[in-house]
Each structure stands twice: as C-alpha cells, then as structure tokens.
Amino acid sequence: MTGPSMNHPERATKARALLAATHFPQALAMVLLMTISTAICGGTWWSVVLVLLASAAGQATVGWTNDVSDANADRAAGRTTKPTVQGDVRPEDLRVPILVSASLTIPLSFVAAGWVGGGAHIVAVLSALVYNFWLSRTIWSWLPYVVSFALMTVFIAQASSRPLWPTWPVVCLSVLVGVIAHLFNAIPDIDIDRRMSLGGLAVSLGKRKSVVVAIVLIALAVAFLGWVVVDIASSV
C-alpha cells in the first residue's frame, strides 16, 4: 500500500526533469510560434491541433537529443541547471522518450501538412539533430538554424492550406530570426565554452562581435518584417 505512494515524488521529479530536458522554454516558444502561425494563416482547428502535436514531438526530440549529446560537456562545465547534471535524469533514460517522440514526429508531420510540408518539418528536425551531434561546436553552428527555420515556413504554409507557399520575405525573416535566436542563446555561454575548448559561431566571433552581428541581423529582420506586412496589406 505504501510503495506506490512513496515512489510518487520520485516519479514526479523524473517527469519534471524529462520536461526540463526538452529545453522547455525554447521548445514551448517554437511550438507556439508554429501553432499560432498556422492559425493566422487560415488553418482549420484540426490542422492547428496537428501542428501543435507534430511540433511538440519534434521539439521534444531535438531537446532530448541535445541533452544527450551535451551531457558530458554540461557536467564538466558545471551547468547545474541541466537535469542530466543534477542527476534527476540520466542520458540513457532519454533514449526511449527520444525514440517515441521521433516516431510520432514522422506520421504527425505528414498528416498535418501533407507529403511536402510534412517532409519539410521532418528535414527541419533532422537539421536540428545535425546541429546537436555534429555542428553545434563548429563555425557552422548557424547553418542548421538557417535550414530548419526556412523549412518551418513551408511546414506552416502547407499545414494551413496545400496551395499556400511561403513568400521569400517570409522565409528570409524566419531564417534571420533563427540565427538571431542562435546567437543570443550562445552568447551567455561564450566564456564557459572557451574554457572548455568548445567551438561555435558565437565562440569564434567573441561576445562583442556576436552582439554586433545580432544587432545587424535584427535590423535586417525588421526590414523584412516591414516587407511582409506591406505584402499582406497589399493582398487584402
């Protein structure tokens, strides 16, 4: 009688750790971005729900694999906010959740956005996995963000309506947002990463140059946002 109740706190802790290991704030932001964008673009309530589920599965896959690939480096760097460093969840504990979330991402993506849009989302997730396992510590760390954020617009458009395609200003705006997010996510860790002899675009540029590049990209993003707004206004 007492066994299950005594194990409940441990299960709750592990559940919270699994959720945190998805990189929850960033994952939630991406899921909301894709879901709300699909609704704004005219998607049905069913397509919006499917985008929510597909993007949640994809983001969970990306977050969990990131914690698996970075577990040793995070531990060595003393990143105590990471669940794998705190000991609430072990990297090997994430293998089954990764398998489940990845397996769900594929059919949900195709059902949500068809062969083209679904394929775009799957490749976007694969691009993020390439970042996690191969490019995150190289000068090319920005490239998967370019690929994933560009393909995300195709996924959203096709989920909203099969005849709908993203315009080039929308694609460029999305790409800029992705690279900006990458830089601002990496800038706080530059000093730690350098001490650990870890690479990445922000590490290569340094803090000051990274901030300058981010500001320039923000200015470009604002310009493209204006272009997108004008296009929308002219089509109404």
Q: How far apart are CA 55 and CA 22, in angstroms?
A: 12
Query: Hey, CA dihedral for 16, 126, 151, 52, is it positive or negative?
Result: negative
- 118 in any annotated domain: yes
Domain containing 212 equals 9-235
Total number of domains constituting the chain: 1
Q: What is the DSSP string of the chain?
A: -HHHHHHHHHHHHHHHHHHHTTTHHHHHHHHHHHHHHHHHTT--HHHHHHHHHHHHHHHHHHHHHHHHHTHHHHHHHT-TTSHHHHTSS-GGGGHHHHHHHHHHHHHHHHHHHHHHHHHHHHHHHHHHHHIIIIITTSTTTTHHHHHHHHHHHHHHHHHH-TT----HHHHHHHHHHHHHHHHHHHGGGHHHHHHTT---HHHHH-HHHHHHHHHHHHHHHHHHHHHHHHHHHHH-
Q: How far apart are CA 171 and CA 71, in angstroms?
A: 33
- 137 in any annotated domain: yes
- 164 in any annotated domain: yes
- 3 in any annotated domain: no
- 91 in any annotated domain: yes
Using 70 as the pLDDT threshold, list the residues of the chain that sit under it: 1-6
pLDDT given at position 176: 98
**Residue type for 223, please?**
A
CATH, residue 203 = 1.10.600
- 69 in any annotated domain: yes
- 49 in any annotated domain: yes
Burial of 1 (0-12, 13-18, 19+ CB in 10 A): exposed
pLDDT given at position 8: 75
Q: How far apart are CA 149 and CA 90, in angstroms?
A: 30
**Residue type for 195, please?**
R
- 206 in any annotated domain: yes
